[in-house]
């Protein structure tokens, strides 16, 4: 597995997908889809800016962006 060097570390915030959403490669509705996330699936949020949350989620823990309003709190 590859390695990434980071100048700082962000602690992920545990979220859950509240409404079905598309995980995208970049922040933007026209960005390519990486996966579809179903309600209840986990999403670990690392950043939240301008209506887009960046992190990793779903059963395969894929990295990408989702609309911030598609996320809810973990039950």
CATH of the domain at 28: 2.30.30.40
Whether residue 59 contacts residue 41, with contact meaning beta carbons closer than 8 Å, is answered with yes
Give the tens place of pLDDT for each residue, 21-75.
Answer: 999 999 999 999 999 999 999 999 999 999 999 999 999 999 999 999 999 998 7
Q: Tokens 């980071």 identify what position?
A: 6
Q: Answer yes or no: is 2 within a domain.
A: no
Residue range(s) defining the domain that contains residue 20: 13-73
Give the tens place of pLDDT for each residue, 15-34.
Answer: 999 999 999 999 999 999 99
Q: Answer yes or no: is 47 within a domain.
A: yes
Q: Tokens 């509240």 identify what position?
A: 18
Whether residue 41 contacts residue 58, with contact meaning beta carbons closer than 8 Å, is answered with yes
Q: Answer yes or no: is 5 within a domain.
A: no
């Amino acid at each position: 597995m590859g390695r990434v060097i980071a100048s700082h570390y962000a602690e992920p915030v545990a979220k859950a997908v509240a409404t079905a959403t598309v995980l995208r490669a970049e922040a933007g509705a026209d960005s390519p889809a990486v996966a579809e996330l179903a309600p209840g699936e986990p999403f670990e949020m690392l950043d939240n800016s301008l209506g887009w949350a960046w992190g990793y989620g779903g059963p395969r823990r894929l990295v990408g962006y989702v609309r911030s309003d598609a996320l809810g709190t973990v039950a």
